[in-house]
Structure formats: structure tokens, C-alpha cells
Structure 1
Amino acid sequence: MNGFNEKLEAKVAERNERAKKLYRYLTDVARRIGESTTTCNSVTDLYTIHMELQRQKLRDNCEKLLFLDPINSGKKSLELLWRKVYYEPVCIAKKIREKADIENDSSDLYTHIICGIGHFHHILTRIQSEMNVKCNDLDFTILNEDEESEELKHATISEELQFAKSALHLCLIYLGDLCRYQVEIFQSNHLSVAARYYLQAAQIELSSGMPYNQLGNLYLDKNYNLDSVCYYIHCLTCETPFSGSLGNLIKIFEKNNQFYETLQNTENSTQTEHIQNTIANFLSLIEIWYFAKNDTNISQRCSLIIHQLKVSMDFLKPTLPDINKNYTEYIQVIEEESVTPSYLNANLVNKIVQICLFTLAKMSESDEVKAFACKAFTLALLSQLLQKFLKELEAMGLKNPAAKYKPKVPVNNNSNISEDKLDISEEHDNKSDTKEATSDKPHVALTTTEKNAEKLQNGEHKNMKKISKRRRRRRIASSGSSDTSNIETESSEGDTDESSIEEDDLSESTYQSEDDSKSEVSELDGSDIDDVNEKQNGYINKTEADQINEDKENDGAAVTGHLLDSKSIKDPQLNENEIQNFLLGNNFLCSIKLLQDWILTEKELILSCGNSGEALFQCVVDLLNILTYYFNPKLKGSNEIKDCKVLEYAKHVARNLKLEHKSIPLPEDVNLRGTTLCKFDKHAAEWQILDRFKPSIYEENIIRILNFIDFGNQIAKLVPRIRLNRSMKIFYIKKNHPPKINTKVNHKRSREWHNSKKQQETSEGGLLRRLGKLWLASQVRELERSGHAAVPALLALDTAALNQHLRRVKQLLRARNFILLIPTVVLQELDELKREQSSARDAIRWLETQLRSGSRFLKAQRPGQSRPLPLLKYPRKAPPYVHNYIQILEFCNHFIDDEKQTQGGNGDPENTIPGKTAPLLVLLVGNEPGSTEEQYKEFSLTGTAQAAGISIQNIGEFYAKWRHAVHKNGKKR
């Protein structure tokens, strides 16, 4: 064995010596190439036979050194190869071409670039084959080898893996640069080829920002520099940003400011000019936010940009020439649109959304107050996109299933009698004239029929019998009174109270559209309504109906006119071509998906909208109803969907993806992988799904639609006004109608109410008062016994508390009454759980955000913050959770050790000072230690904590007591 080790050491020493000699030779050759290159005055001088031979020597020997000593010299040789063989000759050739009046022969330069692309592809293949790694689009893995020299393999695997990762990353960036040179110098390639290499490099090295800096350089002057700003900000967001990205970003903002200062009145501008002005205004706003500049006109800027974006969304896509007749013009229009777009395409919207989210993440870390303006702007942008999305769906012929259900309270400004007045007139039958009631009976009978027909449409036929009986007991009053709200009796008040409960319950199953014209017009065919009328009220004949129609034309009050006029209204037919183009990527779903993932993390922002967010919530409800009706695989498709082949296939795809659509990463997730904006963690198991399943563009859009349905359901749970009618299977927003004002004082009821109030005070009030006195007395005795009711200043958290009760932990932190302590072992356990449980990933993201922002009320364990537990015999062969729990107790013991000494020693309750009732630190646990594992009977975890004087409480019980105490003290919750 010793002889084998000596031979191995001798081989390693010999290899290192050869590598040193080879590296000295390479540096000498590189120096000579550099001296010769600087003296070249033309492109042909760069590619003489002598220069090419020198570069060939350097190329071969750099590759030789790369695989001879990859760990020590591999990266240096790769960078030397790139700089001296490819980068410097291309840069000098570009400068020569710029200075020369007449373009030199560039065929040698073009060949040089093509050879470089082939060479780096060769190096990529060789690295994967010789170092046993496999490079995928998103990651690379180690290939299995024979089980030989396991110790040596495990010792060197991490270093070789790290080198392979960095080498593949550099090769892909060099390939992207060479393809970018092809575009810049020869216009012989497309930008997407270079972008693909950069994006592959970014996914291999997630912490590096250099690929995004190169993407910013690639897309300079494209889309009015919007793409470059997006990629530079993305680069600065990475863990290791490229050093030159900040300077590049500042240059673009300075260039944008020069154009922004020249902006004049833009009312008469063309579509292209309007898009350019909108982006210039947007970038100027982002500059203020990103660099924390002071500006008093932020609100005006935001409203102006939102208005400009709203106008831009209505721009139509320019008509393209016929590709078969005018191919040259067709290509020219396509190129112009890619550089200076004339409408708000999906790429522009996606970049605007990403810039907003990146800026918002940076502002939230530095200044939460200023970040609120950015949040409001981003929320307004989401509202605009959803409204545009709704218009597109309606233009395709996708109808809202809630539109055919008529509301119970139709809005009709020309009507003399509304439904609430009709109810009042029914209640005042004692003061109405019998003759007038008889003359109006056909009209009222039809109105009742309308309600019955409407309830049959809205799925409320079960409650029809009860309501019809109650209403037949009343006599119908005259409808000719102008104001009946002031004529109320005691009986009418009683009936109103009784009926309002029943009708209010039924009113929750109605849907009232924001658009009056939509809410008034029923989508049912007139013949269907006539059939319902004949079934409900058989005594109405044809002549009576004709007479009613004549009365309706004169009066204009009956809602049935809208129902009968619906015969002339035709629904828009489904446009299969537009639906197919929509599902093939011509939409804003990618941007909407990013914004909906963000807004779900800002639930407080959603709830703070209140009535001001009604337009947004109404749009979400309408979209949710449409998409659920046409794409939800759980619902059976109607004949309309079955006749449309595109929608039928879409439902088939949705049915196959309904179980996995939440866990499949989309391209927008891939591009944001490794950032805080991504839905998935950068090391999550979801990325491995793409190795076996790569969705098509069609399937990606179906996944986005299913995600939006889930998003709409979550918003419906958050917003109390959004309700679900289960019988109709539609969502609606419950309208807040102003309460009826009754100015008439009923003295009899007033006297009865006062008398009942006095009796209630004498009976119940006295008992409550006595109980309150007894409770106060017990509290005083408790305070006298314990001194004062103190609360712990420090709260340590275990893994289960963060993983299972993150919402309660957030509430405790938001209270700013405690300092939350996070042991290091808890972070390690969360890191192990994140592959299996999404709640652990949420906890990790939240902790990273709080620790990065420097919160004073959340602290992680630092080196040295641990003290061994006194008189404790540590178990040797205990399960891992026992050792982890002991580390948490040692961390807690670090803080309470001084307190135990002041209290009299070893934490014995009998020796403590009676003035303190709460300990300095409390360990909050999610469940009993070891309850989820197999119990280790030789060691008691709770007993160890009690012996050390460490207080342990369940976080649920502690949280409930704390909230009760806060509520009792009258503080805001």
C-alpha cells in the first residue's frame, strides 16, 4: 500500500512539473503574439502565415494544459486561449475596419470566428467525455463510473465538478461572444443564437451575472434600450454581478435622459413615436426608483405612464406584406419591428414586468416606504394587462358564462318603477286603492313571472315554492305612486325585516356585471323565456302578453322588454384561427403569470385595495369565469366547445396536465431561476421534470391558463366580496348597496325598544358587571402575587415552527415586541426539507429576505453563540434529530446562562426571584420534539430542557395567548 501511494505521489509531482513548464511556454508564446498583433495595420496583417502558426501553437498547448492539470491550471489556460487567440484579434480587426475608409477583405476574420465556434464546441464535448459530466439546457450531472478507488473519487469529485462547471460556463459565454461578433460585424447570424449560449451559461452558473451583462450588450439599441436595461438590472441582482454592468446601466439611463428632455407634446405622434416616448418615460421612472433619487412628481409620472401603456395596448399590429409576393419588404418590416416596434408586443410587456419586479425587490431591501409606490404601479400594470386579456378573449368569441344570468336588481335609469319600489308597494296594501291594484294586476303578474323565470335561470328553483307562497298572501298595491319610501307602517317594517333575510341569502347567488348594458340584456332566447312564462303562470294568454308589451312601450319600466329584445342580439361566434394563434404564443400570458406569482406574495396589498380595486377584482372574476368554463378539465364541455376543435383539444391537454401544471417550470421561470422572483427554488426538484417532459408552446399556454384559474380561486378566497354561486358555477362580486333611509319615527317601536333595553340591562347587565368585577379582582391578586406580567424578549424557533407555522412567525415579527432567534441547525434542516416540502422553501425565502434587509427583530446564530448544557451526559448513538435538538438547546443556553446566575444558580424555580414571571427566552416548537420520529427512549428531550432551565412552549399556544393579551389591552391586531 505504501508503494502504491509513493508511485501516485511521484506521478502527481511529475504532472505538476510538466504543467509548470507548459504554462511558462504558453505565457512566452502569448507575449510574442501580443507584440505582433499590436503592430498590425490591416485585417490581412492579422492573419499572415506566421501569425496563424503562432496562434495554432498557443491553441494546441492551451488545450493540452487544460486537460493535463485541470484543477490548478485549467481555468488560466482557458482564459489565455480566449484572450490571445480569439478576443484580441477580433477587437483589433473591428478597430481597423472602423478607421479604414475602404473596407478591408474580411474573409479571414469571418473564417477565424467560425473556427473559434467549432473549437469551443470541441472543448465542450471533450470536457463532458473526459470529466464524465453531462451538460443539459438547465444543468449538468455526473455520469456513473465503475466503483474503483471510492476514497480517491470522493476526495477529488468536488474539485473536478467545480472546474467542469466553470469551464462549461466560460465556453458557453465565449461561444455567445463569437456569435455576437458575427451579428455585429457581418450581420450573418441571428441574435437568438448568441442569446441561447448566454442563457445556457446562466443556467449552469446561477450565481454569475456575466451572461446577463453580455445579453445587455447583445440587445443594445433594440426596443429603445428596454431589453438592455432589463438584462443589466438582472445582472446586478445576481449574487456575483459583473463589475461593468452598473456603468453600462448608467450610460443607458444618461442616454435615455437626453431623449427624455427633448420630449414635446405627444398628442399627434405616430404609434412608433408613442411607444418610444412611453418607454423613455418608464425608464426615467425606473432610474429614480433604482438609484433612490428624490422626485416629488412620482405620482404624476406613474399615472402618465399607466395611461400611455393603456393607449399603447390598443395599438393594432401592423399588416405585413405578402411573403410570397414581396419577400424583401416582408423581411424589412420584420426587422424594423424587432428594432423599433410600433405596438406593444409580448416581449416589450415581459421586459417591463421584469424591470418592475427587479426594481421592487431592490427597493424593498432598502426602503419599504418608497417601495409602496412601485408596488402600486406594478399592481396598476397588472390591472391593465388583465383588462387587455379580457378584451382579447371576448374578441375571440369566448363568452362570459355569467352574462346570461340576469341580476335581481337591474339598473335602468329610464325606469319609473324599480324592484325595490315594487316590494315597498306590495307591503303597503292597506293604504292602496283596490281598483288601482286590480288594474295593475297583469303588470305585476308579469314582473313576478320574470323573477320566477330568472330564478330558474340562476338555479334557484328549489326556493321558488316558499317565496311564491309568501308573496301570494299579500295584496298588490298601485305602482303609480311617485315616492313610496316615506309611507311605511308597522306591518311593512316587520315584513321587510323577515323577507330581507331570505332575499339577502338568495341575492348572494346573483351576478351583477359592471357594465349596465351587459347586466340588463339576458342571453337567453326569447322563445325560452316564453316557455318558462307559460309553465309558471298558465293564466297569462297571448292577448294579455300583447297588452303588456304595449304598456311596457308606454311606461318603459318592465324589465321584460330587455328579455324580449334579446331575440335580435346574436352572440359572437368562436374564431378558431384567433384562438389557435392565441394558444401558440400571441398573448401576454407570460407577463401575467409573473405578476400573479408576485401579487400572491403581497396579500396585504390585495386586501388594502378595498373599493378602489373593484375594477381589478371584477376583471379577475370575469376572466376566472371564462377560463374555467372553456378550459377547466373538471367541467363537462358544452356543445359549443365540442364543435370547436381547438378548444376541444385544449381541454384534452388541460386534462392531461391538471395534476402536474403547478410543478412544471415555464420559460419565464427558467429565465429567473436563481433569483428571488422565481416561483421555484434554484435547487428544487421541479427542474428535473424538464429532463423528461419538455412542454410545447401550446402546452405552456395551457399551463399558464390553469395557473391563472388557481390564481383566481386564491384571490376569491382572499377578497370577501368575491362569492361563488355553486349551482351556477360562476363567481361574482357582491355589490355594496347603500342602506335604505327611513326618516319616519315609529314611536311605538321606539318605546318598546327602550323598555326592552332597560330590562336587558337589569337582567343581563348586572350579571356581566358582577362577573367583570370578580375577574378584575382575580387579576389583581395574580399581579400582586407575581409582581408584574412580563413577556419574553427573545423567541428561539425550531424547524417545525418555521416550516408549519410560518404565518404565525411572520405575525410575531411584525409585532416588533420580540427578537426572533434562528439557530444554524434549523437552517440546515430547512435546507434538507426544501426538496420535499414547498413550505420549507417558503420559509427559506422569507428568512433570506429578512436577513438580507437587516431586520433588527430577526437574528441568525453567530459563531460562538453556544454554551454546553451543565451536568448533561451527551448520548453517543442517538438519532440525528436528537443531536440537532441539543444544538438548539445549547444556542438557547448561551442567552439564558447569565440570567440563571442572577436568579440563583441552576434554573431551579424555587431559587428564582419572585419578581419575574416570564423568562428571558422561550423556545417555540411546532410540535413535540421527536413526535414525528421514532422516539428515542434513552434520552428525554423535554426533560433536558427543563433541567437546563430553558422554557419550551408550543407556538400555537403561545400565539393564541399573545393575541388574546394584545386584544385585551386594546391594541390593534
Structure 2
Amino acid sequence: MRLSCSVSADSVVFCATDDSSDSEGSVESNQSCRNEKTLPERLEILTNQGLLPAVKVFLDWLRANTDIIVMCAQSSQSLWNRLSVLLNLLPDSRKILEAEVPLCEEVSELLSACERPDLHQTLPLPEDVALRHLPALRAAHKRLDMDRESPTLSTLQESVVRLSCIRSFGHFLTRLQGNVLHFNPEAGIFTSVSQSEQENLLQQARAQFRMAEEEARRNRLMRDMAQLRLQLEVSQLEGSLQQPKAQSSMSPYLVPDTTALCQHLGLLRQLAGSGRFMIIIPRTVIDGLDFLKKENAGARDGIRFLESEFRKGNRYIRCQRESGKSFERHKLKRQDSDAWHLYKMVDSCRQLTVSQGSGEEDTAGMVTILTGFHIEDITALSPHMQAAIQAVAVAGIELKNILEFYRQWKEMG
């Protein structure tokens, strides 16, 4: 189960939904969710997450440095978007007081004032005590009497104090020059102010939901990748015990090159649609398609196919962004562009395996590069291409002709 949320004119609703649903189904189930969390349950969830102390410390520092907020208001829209999502997840003071959550008098007074921008915290929290001597937070702690004997707060009451400070900071941002956040009293939600002042409340709320859905989609992708890797390990174990010489497993990650996309797009569609493989498209392959699109109809078809799948959010076809140190040999790029692109793909595959395993021994057989070239007779290829193919083998990556890989997959059923 996972926790999802929806914002209405009256409340923020926490719902329990099944992780097994895809993105379209989860959006629909969220809208019609009947298993709503009660307010005490929501407070317990926020408490158990253990993240509110760090958020409060960061916002205490920001409140004492308003010049930084104003200066970076327009360039930090992602931060304000995420902060507004958090503020909308936190229940307001009226709902907590109406729910009769057991609070001491001082916490209740603090909660009653949290919907104002000038809340003065009087109860020190554990994080305040731990950071009492930090110069950067001196302004935030100057109203706290660390030596005074304060009432012993439960973890729930500590969370309510943090919640009060965070919501007060949200109202504080609505008063700052530069319109960092807006608060709609009728809907009871915070919204960030984008560079386009003409965006209305509904559009901004939808943007928040899209951002939350994108994060959920990324989490599902990582879970799917882990599941595919587990399937590979189980299949390899079965093959080693029952069929030592049989090819009982196939790599879960397939990385097609430009020729495979241009010449065998139909086969790639079937592989992607099987749900058995994760198709990874490195940046160098996209660049290659873009270079060929003027004269190669297959390249244009490949580009349209990828654009369509990326737009739909197909979890089995992913574009890989370049990161870390990449292969660069400009002279080789002029001499043998095919070898140069293969080296670039090896670099991308290494980045993929490093992100999925703790060492090379853990990732052998995880990735297969699919090519449209016939590689049965390696001596017929250029010396640069032969060296690139050897680099593929050294990296623990398989290189197969897509027709041969497809035939093997069909034979295995």
C-alpha cells in the first residue's frame, strides 16, 4: 500500500491505494477513493515519517534570511512548488482543534496562531536544543528560553508544533515581496506563483498533482527494474541447476543502437510490449536518429515512436540522460562514427549497471546492446569497430544482432 493525496476545497484527503495499479488507474482510484485516513491517522503518518524536523530547521533559517528568498524567488520555482505541496498536505489548525487531538495548553495556543505569518515559537523542540549554538539559527532561537523548564511533549505534540511553524512560514511567504506563494482562503490551499502571472489556481493545482504523479511514476520504474533484475537472477539460478548449457535467461535491460531502431522498429515494439524487458535509449542513439532523419525514413519512424512512448509514459521504454564522465574521442568520431557511438553506448551501459548493482560481478548479463549490424564475422569489421566490440565484452555487456536476439526470445517462449 502507498499513501496518496488529493486537494479539495475543504480538505487534503489521504487515501490508501494499491501499488499494483498503473499511473492511469491510480489517478482514477485516487479521485474515487473511499478509504480516507482520519486526521489522527494522518498526524501519525507525518510523525512516523521523521522528516518534519529537517524541514522546520531549513525554514527557520530561510525566515531569518528573507533577502535570499526574495532574490531567488523566480529562479527557485521548483522549491516553492514542492513547499506548497507539503503545506497542502498539513492539516490546518481548525481541523486539528475540531478533532480534539490531545494537546497541552501551550501547544494548543501555538496551534491557534499558526495561520498567521508572525507566529512566535515558545516551546523548544529537540532539534532546536541540538542546534542551539549554531550561528545560522541564532535569529530563530532568540525567542526560545532553552533554560526554562518546558512541559514534556509527546512525539505527536512535537509534530503539531512543527506543523504550526511550517504553516506559519507558508503564510509568511505570502506576505513577502515577489509573491513567492499565494494562499486561497476559500479553497484553503497554498499555490506557488509561476513566472506567468496569468496561470489560475486550478492550473497550478494540476501542476502540483502532475509533479506528485511523476515522482510516483519514477518510484514505480525503480520497483519494476528491481523486479526484472530479481527475475534474471532466479532464471540464471534455475538454468545453472537444471540446464547448465542452455541459455535459460536473457538480459532485462536492452539498449538498441541507431541501426536497430531504423531497421527493426517492429521487433523493438514487440520486445517493449512484452513487459519482459526494460528498453533503455541512450542520448547518443537519439542524436544518431536526429542526424539521419533527413535522409532515412526509418530514423524518422523511430523518432516518432520514441516521442509517442515518452509522452505516454511507457514504463518499459526509458530515455537515459548522460551523467558522469563520458567517452570522448573527437578524432575517432570523424574516422569511424559507428565505433564512436558504440563506445558511447558502452559508457551509458556502465552508468546503468553501476546504478543497479554494487559491483561488476553483480551486473554481468544485466545489459544487452541490440544492433542491426551482423557481427558473426568480427574480422570483416573495421579495426576501430573490433576494438569497440572488445570493450563491450570487457565491460561485461552482451552485444547481439537484434534478429538473433528476437529469434532466441521467441524460442524460449
Shorter-normalised TM-score: what interval?
0.3 to 0.5
Structure exhibiting the larger radius of gyration computed from Cα positions: 1
State the TM-score, normalizing by the size of structure 2.
0.37
Q: Which structure has the highest strand share of the two?
A: 2
- Tell me the TM-score normalized by structure 1: 0.17
- Give the number of the structure with larger relative contact order, counting CA–CA contacts within 8 Å between residues 6 or more apart: 2
